[in-house]
Amino acid sequence: MTQAIARQNPGSAERFFYSGMGLVLLATVFVGFSRTFFLKFWFPEHQHLAAPEPFFLVHGVFFAAWFVLLAVQPLLVADGNRALHRRLGMWGAALAVAMLVLGIVGALIAARRPGGFIGVPLPPLQFLVIPFTAVLLFGVFVALAVAWRGDAQAHKRLMLLASISLVEAAVARLPLAFLTAESPVPFFQAMELLTLSLVLPMVAWDLLSRGRLHAVTLWGGLVLVAAMPLRAVVSTTDGWLAMAGWAVGLLD
């Protein structure tokens, strides 16, 4: 029945799906960072987990703005305000460029701390591959989305994949008991699985509305899946550690 509804009312069902996904990702970011950023004054017991550098206030505002924009854009289309949607899309492209710079610099600042990344038991140069991979995937997906903005179906899916690639940091901070395990192996596995689970609604939507996967969902989803074990392998290589050490040294 759900498949029949999606095919009989493709416009309304599609708007509902993309609006819903935008709100889910925004809610994930808000809840994940609520105790250390958005509502940090209500959670003083968690301030040791908050980034102490003022830089991360700007970093957080820009990244939060992206997810607000992701949630708002489908609603504008649903309301018929395509002109504003396009204007905000131009600002969104500029925002994405700024986020690439902020994401890389923020990761280097965190890796340069004496204790490395807050709450992460891995060596900072090794862990640095995770935010670098997220920023790289975000940049690639957004660039493709901008290039294919004339193809609405590809554009929407690429924007979702770009946002999912960034949301892992928020997922890791969700107040879920099984994410607080002392061993880093189950923690990172759980974090990755939860992040990848956000691709499943895209798969379900494609199957319900199209009867098959859209090429962007298929190949973009496979890239996200493949990136996680690949980055774990790369993070321990001498080449990566040397490059990461060089990059962190640029802040000296």
Confidence at residue 233, expressed as pLDDT on a 0 to 100 scale: 94
The alpha carbons of the chain give a radius of gyration, in whole angstroms, of 19
Domain count, the chain: 1
Which pLDDT value is given to residue 96? 96
CB 207 within 8 A of CB 213: yes
- C-alpha to C-alpha distance for 96 and 233, rounded to whole angstroms: 28
Structure tokens given for 135: 């920023």
Q: Which of 165, 118, 117, 111 is nearest to 139 (CA)?
A: 165
Residue range of the domain that includes 110: 2-249
Between the CA of residue 193 and those of 67, 86, 168, what are the distances in Å?
21, 34, 10
pLDDT averaged per 10 residues in sequence order, the chain, 252 residues: 48 85 95 92 86 94 95 80 82 94 97 89 93 96 94 95 94 71 61 89 95 97 95 95 96 86
